[in-house]
Every structure is written in C-alpha cells, then in structure tokens.
Structure 1
Amino acid sequence: MSEQIQTALAALHNILGDMLLAVYLHGSAVSGRLQPQSDIDLLAITERDLTEDQRDGLLTALLRISGRHPATAGGARCLEVMLFRRSDLARTAYPARAEFIYGEWLRDGFEAGERPMPTRDPEHTLVLAQARQDAIPLFGAGADKLLPEIPQKHVRRAIGDALPALLGGIHGDERNVLLTLARMWRTASTGEFVTKDAAAVWAIPQIQSRDASTLDYARRAYLGELADDWSSRSDATQRLAAYLRDQVIESL
C-alpha cells in the first residue's frame, strides 16, 4: 500500500472505531492501470450511521489527505472514498444508498461548509457492482462476503438512469465523460466492467474513423501520452457523445 492509502485507512480506523467493518481498494489501482490522473478509490462498510462528529472528522481528514485535482506528478493522488452501511447493502435496494461520499469534485462545496450526507444515486449501484467484481480488502472480509451481488437488471437500469447527469457534465470534463460512455457501452453489451482505456480499445473499431480518432484522443490523454486540450474539439466531442449515448441506449 502507498503511504497515502495507509494514512486514509488509519483515519477511517481512528474516526470510526469498531463500527468499521471493512475497507476495500477498487478501481484503477486494483486493475493495474493506475494512470497519471487516476483517483485512489476506497470503499468502506460501517455497522451503523455516522454521527455528526464522525462525519465532520472524516471530512476534515480526507480534505487533508487527498490531493487536489488535477493531480501533480509526484504529489498526492485524488481520493474517492465511499461509505455504505451494512444494513443498506443487505437490502440491495435501487438506487443504492451511500452513507458518506468524498471526492475532489466535491471539494469546493466542502470547503464552503457543506457536509457529506447520505445519498441515493444510480452511480452508487454501479460502483458496488464493479467493486464486487474487483475489490481487494485492506481491512475486513473479502468483497464476496460483505458486498452484495448487484442484479443485472439493476446494473442496466443504473446505466440508463446515470446517462443524463453524465452528459450534462461533459463541458470541462470531456475526456472522462467520453471514456465513461464507452465503458457504459461495453458493460451494457457484455455485462463486464473494464477500465476506461480498455473500453475505448473495444469501442474504437466499431466507430466511424472521425469519431474513433476523438475517442482515441481521450484514451491517449487518459494514459498521459498527450496533453489534454479539448478547446478546439467541441463539435467532435458532442458528436461522439451523442453516438456513444445512442449505442448505450440500444445495447440496454
């Protein structure tokens, strides 16, 4: 484990104590494809609700431990930390409920005084489904013991329900949105979860050349092979996003 992961794990233990049941590492760090701007993804399971003091204490700790976006070479990586109650996971309700979420896209709000509160979101369902497939325990039982097996009908519904918000946030986040759409297409078509760059490699041969070049640009930027500049690619981005959206919907 990196020092940053160890520090985050220690903070979870210190703040949550014996109500902390498990902590998992998932996402790019587990797939072996940790890219220059990849977050460190942690998922924790708690026995009960967080108190206000625990919620505030964990937020303060993560604001200190997590690197700001965009990450700098050699500096701290951005953290994404999600907490789920065991009772919520046992019910596998849709959409999944998260007890606490930290991510760098939320930092401005947190620094302005917002507090991370419980939320229900289709994205939570997708995170749980993927984590059940690839997460490794840093503390506690294996993922197959505590993380639920998400029904495929919930996965497919979550992909469809997450599309509008994803597309609505494309401006300023072009690379991530296009690669996420490619990954949604892959999952909707095959039922498998893969990394963003692997999804792009799968999708590119199925796309017309001018749009394929845009997706390959996103893939190469994700891998750190070129500068991530979308200022002159607005039309191409919108065209590709619309095409990928249509493929996702058709596959669903």
Structure 2
Amino acid sequence: MNQVQEIVGLVGGALGQDVIGTYLHGSSVLGGLRPASDVDLLVVSRRPMDEQERRTLLGGLLRISGPRNNLRPVELTVVVQAEVRPWRYPPTGDFLYGEWLRAEYQAGKVPQPEPMPDLALLIAMTLAGDHPLTGPRPAQVLDPVPEADLVRASVTGVPGLLDDLDSDTRNVLLTFARIWTTLATGQIKSKDAAADWALAHLPPEHRPALEHARQLYLNCSYSQERWSDALRAQVRPHVDRVLAEIDRLRARR
C-alpha cells in the first residue's frame, strides 16, 4: 500500500462515513512532487472529530509521515464543511498535521479546532487541482474563495515566515515568491512556477538567492541544502525587495 492510500485509510478509520471527500493539493497537483515536497491533503468532514478520533489519526500520521519513517512529510488538514460553506473568513480548521509540529505532538499536543487563515489558500489550491481521492469533485463540496481573502490569507503569514528565514531559507523565499505572484496575478502557482514569475520581475542583483532556492527545491532534499556565505548575504536584501513589492500591491487594493 502506498503512502497516500495509507493516509486515506487512516482518515476513513477515524471519521468513517462522515468523510465527505479527501483531496490532494499542493505540489502533487500543481506541478509535481519534488525531492523535499510534502504530500498535502485536505479532508472535508460532516462533523468535528472527538478526542479519541484525533488521537487515533495523529498516532497513525506520526508513523507514516516524514524522513524518519523513510517517507515523504505529510501535511493533512481536516475541515468541517459547515465551517467553510458558506464561505467566511477566517475559516476554522478541525485538525492540522504537519511535520514541523512533530516535536509538539510527541510532547503530548493533540490538534484541536482553531482559526486557520491558510485554509483559504488550501481550499483555492484544492479547487484548482481538482484531484479527489475519495468523494465528489471539490467544486461540489467547497465554495470558491474570494480574491480579497486569498490576499488576506497570503499576507497573514509574513511575520511567521520572517521568523523562520534563517532556519528554513529555501521554503521561506519560495513562499514569499508565491505570495507576490498570487497578489500580482490572482493565481496560486507551484513554488517553482512562482519563482520563475518572480525572477522575471526582479532586477538582476536580487535574483541569485531565489534562483538558488528554486534549484534546491527542484533537485535536493532538505538534508542536502547548502548556502554559501555569499548567497546567504543576499537573502535579506532579496526578501526586503520582495516584501516591498507585496506591500505595493496591497496598497493598490
């Protein structure tokens, strides 16, 4: 059984007949999985999970996600349909699993319902990707996300991304490129496609850091990531330029 099938089985085991649909989004459907890509799934449910269901799903995901299990990292979000249809912002998610939270899970944290502005982006990507694993097509289950809410969701994460700039440089640069691209075009592109767009709109002196992040994304796992001192020195000036472009686009709305 492959990893995606195992995840679908875990979700079905936890929620049973209350799963409306399970959908791939992100790199899997926007441009193809890369060496360090997560497997991104959105689950739409009829009801919130109870505590035992949360623990069951979390325990299963800890066993079948991430390099320590010789598998791709999994990012799985569960949303109750009534929380996002009819659409409102910010949406509330019922459950979130991501490898960046593994230490908290292993220390005893269990994912609980909480506001998740990022759900606006996930739902938009799910609708665009149109890749059901179970259930009907996503357009039959989810409302479209207004562009204004895509913008709000995109920029809400900027402070957190800046906090992670030194520890997760590749991902942060690519995410900033995607935010800029989304604000400029109204489309959510794959990370490498967003980087291509941003590189075409940057002056030459601000391209090398993003070019390197893009090449790492396309060709290397996180364990292979290397930044020279010269490239590292260009990261913050690049980010400042991209954030200035993002602020300029926000001010025009």
Q: Give the alignment's TM-score, normalised by structure 2.
A: 0.92
Structure-2 separation of matches of 1:104 and 1:41: 11
Aligned CA RMSD, in angstroms, stands at: 1.7
Within the alignment, does 1:16 sit opposite 2:8 as a pair? no
- Deviation of residue 242 (structure 1)? 1.2
Unaligned runs of 5+ residues in structure 2 are none
Cα deviation digits, residues 25-78 of structure 1 (max 9, x gap): 111111242100000011101111100000000000000111237x9xxx3111
* SS of equivalent to 2:225: coil
Q: In the superposition, relative to structure 1, how do residues 68 and 111 fare at CA in structure 2: closer, same or farther (>3 Å)?
A: farther
Distance 1:158 1:166 in 2: 13
Identity rate, percent: 34
Is 1:133 matched up with 2:101?
Answer: no
Q: For residue 96 of structure 2, give the secondary structure of its aligned residue in structure 1.
A: strand
Matched-pair contact (CA < 8 Å) for 1:26–1:42: yes
Q: Which moved more, 1:144-153 or 1:127-136?
A: 127-136
Unaligned runs of 5+ in 1: none
The verdict on how the C-alpha distance between 1:23 and 1:130 changes in structure 2, with shifts beyond 3 A counting, is same
Equivalent of 2:146, from 148, 151, 163? Answer: 151
Range with bigger deviation, 19-28 or 227-236: 227-236
Does the aligned pair in 2 maintain the 1:96–1:125 contact within 8 Å?
A: yes
The equivalent of 1:244 in structure 2 is 242
Match of 1:56 in 2: 55
Aligned-pair CA distance for 1:129: 1.7
Any idea what the Cα deviations from partners look like across 1:113-148, whole Å, max 9, x if unmatched? 111111213212211122121131000010101122
Going from structure 1 to structure 2, the CA distance change for 1:231 and 1:116 (only over 3 Å counts) comes to: farther
Task: Report the alpha carbon displacement of residue 159 of structure 1 after superposing the two structures with TM.
Answer: 1.8
Q: Is the 8 A contact 1:174 1:230 kept in 2?
A: no
Distance 2:78 2:116 in 1: 13
- Number of residue pairs matched by the alignment: 247
Structure 1 runs of 4+ with >4 Å offset: none
| Bigger Cα displacement from structure 2, 79-88 vs 158-167 | 158-167
> What TM-score do you get using the length of structure 1 for normalisation?
0.93
In 1, distance between residues paired with 2:102 and 2:220? 27
* Structure 2 residue 214 is the aligned partner of structure 1 residue 215: no
- Structure-2 separation of matches of 1:23 and 1:134: 12
Are the aligned partners of 2:31 and 2:190 in contact in 1 as well (CA < 8 Å)? no
Instruction: Give, in whole Å, the separation in 1 of the partners of 2:66 and 2:81.
Output: 29
1:114 has 2:104 as partner: no
The offset of 1:231, in angstroms, is: 5.9
